[in-house]
């Protein structure tokens, strides 16, 4: 029996998938989508001028990344974390990074410090230009740089899972005007690490995550209140 290989995706298909994926992800990170906002396949397909199957694949990808959530018989929506969810995630952040900093005490070097200084500079630029999506992304990457420097894939995997959930919380619930506060806190953590002051770096890290948690303003949104289709139609035209 002759086996027929499935057709390879055309370059344009991949580029289109990434463009739509980036548009939806950026809308999430910029806080343009309210907590609980529904993302239906048919309206999004029309807004972007692509097939429903393509939208389904992109939504599934975002669900797998914990950027969106799938509710049985109700479709896909932006998560609406509870106060308990927020507390659990940021407690996990504090515990994990305290251990990372303790391990870094014997490994940190001038090359990593220089790399972190460069990263904080990019964070400051994003905050000063009010680039919301880049600010959220770079904020998470600061903590990833610390954790990835240990070379432990398991630990890095734990952090990536936490960040995919906490970055969504920040995007939806934090006042954009307060984002620059996190940059100054990252700079303070870095200064303590540069001095090899492990205890101070751990203290500043714990305070940082508590401050981010406290800045989140959980709001009750009514399902279906937001016109997601109109939002993405405007984004796709831009």
pTM of structure: 0.74
What residues have CB less than 8 Å from 48, skipping those under 6 apart? 20, 23, 55, 232, 236
Within a domain: residue 176?
A: yes
Residue 120 lies in a domain: yes
- pLDDT of 11 reads 47
Please give the residue range of the domain that contains residue 226.
12-80+221-237
5 domain-assigned: no
Both 116 and 180 in one domain: the answer is yes
| CATH number, domain containing residue 229 | 1.10.10.10
pLDDT at position 180, please? 60
Phi, psi torsion values for 39, nearest 5 degrees: -120, 100
Q: For the chain, how many structural domains are there in total?
A: 2
Q: Tell me how crowded residue 11 is: count the other CB atoms within 10 A of its CB.
A: 8
Extract the residue ranges of the chain whose pLDDT is less than 50: 1-9, 11, 222, 224
Give the count of beta carbons closer than 10 Å to the beta carbon of residue 136: 26
Q: What percent of the chain has pLDDT over 90?
A: 48
Task: Give the per-residue pLDDT at 238.
Answer: 58
Q: Is residue 69 part of a domain?
A: yes
For β-strands 69-71 and 75-77, DSSP reports them as antiparallel
Is 174 part of any domain? Answer: yes
> 192 with 141, same domain?
yes
């Amino acid at each position: 029996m002759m086996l027929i290989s499935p057709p390879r995706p055309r370059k344009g298909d991949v580029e289109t998938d990434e463009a739509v994926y980036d548009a939806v992800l950026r809308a999430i990170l910029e806080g343009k989508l309210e907590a609980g906002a529904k993302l239906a396949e048919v309206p999004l397909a029309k807004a972007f001028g692509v097939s429903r199957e393509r939208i389904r694949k992109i939504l599934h990808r975002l669900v797998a990344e914990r950027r969106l959530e799938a509710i049985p018989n109700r479709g896909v929506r932006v998560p609406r974390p509870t106060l308990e969810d927020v507390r659990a995630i940021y407690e996990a952040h504090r515990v994990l990074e305290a251990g990372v900093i303790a391990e870094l005490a014997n490994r940190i070097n001038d090359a990593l410090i220089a790399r972190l200084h460069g990263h904080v500079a990019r964070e400051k630029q994003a905050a000063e230009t009010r680039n919301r999506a880049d600010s959220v992304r770079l904020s998470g990457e600061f903590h990833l740089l610390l954790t990835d420097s240990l070379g432990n894939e398991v630990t890095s995997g734990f952090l990536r899972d936490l960040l995919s959930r906490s970055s969504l919380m920040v995007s939806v619930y934090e006042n954009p005007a307060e984002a620059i506060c996190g940059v100054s806190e990252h700079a303070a953590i870095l200064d303590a690490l540069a001095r090899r002051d492990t205890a101070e770096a751990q203290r500043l890290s714990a305070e940082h995550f508590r401050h981010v948690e406290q800045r989140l303003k959980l709001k009750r949104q009514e399902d279906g209140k937001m016109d997601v289709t109109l939002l993405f139609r405007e984004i796709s035209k831009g």
